[in-house]
Amino acid sequence: MKPMKKRLTQINENDLRDEIFKNVMNKQATATISLEDDGIVCGIEHLKRRAISLGLKVDKTAKDGSHIRRGGIVARVRGNPKQIAIGEDALIGLIAKTSGIATAASKAVELSNGRFKIVSGAWKKMPPAIKDKVREALTIAGVGVRIVDERFVYLDKNYVRLLGGISEALLAVNKMRNRTKVVQLKGETCDIAQEAVEATNYGAQVIVIDTGKRSDIKSVVTVLNRIGIRGQVRIGFAGNVEINDIRKFRDSGIDILEIGRAIIDAPLLDMKMNVN
């Protein structure tokens, strides 16, 4: 007869929390997610759905788009120790980045002081898994996710190059009468002010000066005013704009300011989860 082997207690290597909390699994605990800094929260509905899927009870949450001071409560949840521990890993990650983006976007809107529209199209370059959440964060903060609100056709630098120039590009979309014509200008075909005149003469209703040079705004505004066609076109500006530079554009004469990296690359809004 073979000797009996001593049976060892098996530990679930896939989740050590089963072993760690096995003696207190029936205990109920409450945990609060709070901010370590002031900010705009975004992604609350995603947090709530994830918390419920983990078996947590959601007692309280802030509202998407609300401004919360340091130490303020984002959410309060209840569950057993394992659920709370999993929640710490899973919940903050759902909202920290989008809240950081919303906070930066909100600051940009505030600094514009209503002088021009802030837009950010960089959300389109985000990975598919987070693209919609980034767009949601921009919208909550009041930043446009499109260069204009109405239906439009956008002729970027590559369309202009492929079609042979600014006038050629605009002629190609001339029959699209139900769409606003938007063209990106980079000063590649001639002087940027001359490009603006050409674009306006050929039907552009929005021109985007995408050079990053604020001096180009003055050149364009001056020439369009001089020849009496400034009122026919909205002027946008883009190119490595930093949030702290926004005040410098208030009296520039632009209608739209596009900001990409400075908003999308905003740091996580710092949060912590504490068991009460």
Distance, in Å, from the CA atom of 135 to the CA atom of 138, rounded to the nearest integer, reads 5
Specify the pLDDT at position 5. Answer: 46
Specify the pLDDT at position 11. Answer: 42
Reported as a single tens digit per residue, the pLDDT across 214-263 is 999 999 999 999 999 999 999 999 999 999 999 999 999 999 999 999 99
> Helix %, strand %, coil % for the chain, to 5?
40, 20, 40
Reported as a single tens digit per residue, the pLDDT across 1-26 is 455 444 444 444 568 999 999 999 99
Which pTM value belongs to this model? Answer: 0.90
Residue 123: is it exposed, middle or buried by C-beta count within 10 angstroms (0-12/13-18/19+)? buried
Distances from the Cα of 146 to the Cα of 18, 53, 125, 138, 189, angstroms:
48, 34, 13, 11, 26
Give the mean pLDDT of 163-192. 97
User: Under CATH, domain 17-101+268-275 is a member of which superfamily?
Assistant: Quinolinate phosphoribosyl transferase, N-terminal domain (3.90.1170.20)
Specify the pLDDT at position 8. Answer: 40
8 C-beta neighbours (distance < 10 Å), count: 6
212 C-beta neighbours (distance < 10 Å), count: 12
Specify the pLDDT at position 15. Answer: 82
Contact 144, 108 (CB under 8 A): no
Domain residue spans of the chain = 17-101+268-275, 144-258
Let me know how long the chain is: 276
Specify the pLDDT at position 218. Answer: 97
CATH 3.40.50.10210 is right for the domain spanning 144-258: no
Specify the pLDDT at position 13. Answer: 52
Reported as a single tens digit per residue, the pLDDT across 26-72 is 999 999 999 999 999 999 999 999 999 999 999 999 999 999 999 99
Here the tokens at position 103 are 């906070």
Give the mean pLDDT of 257-274. 97
Of the candidates 60, 2, 180, which has an alpha carbon nearest to the alpha carbon of residue 170? 180
Reported as a single tens digit per residue, the pLDDT across 86-95 is 999 999 999 9
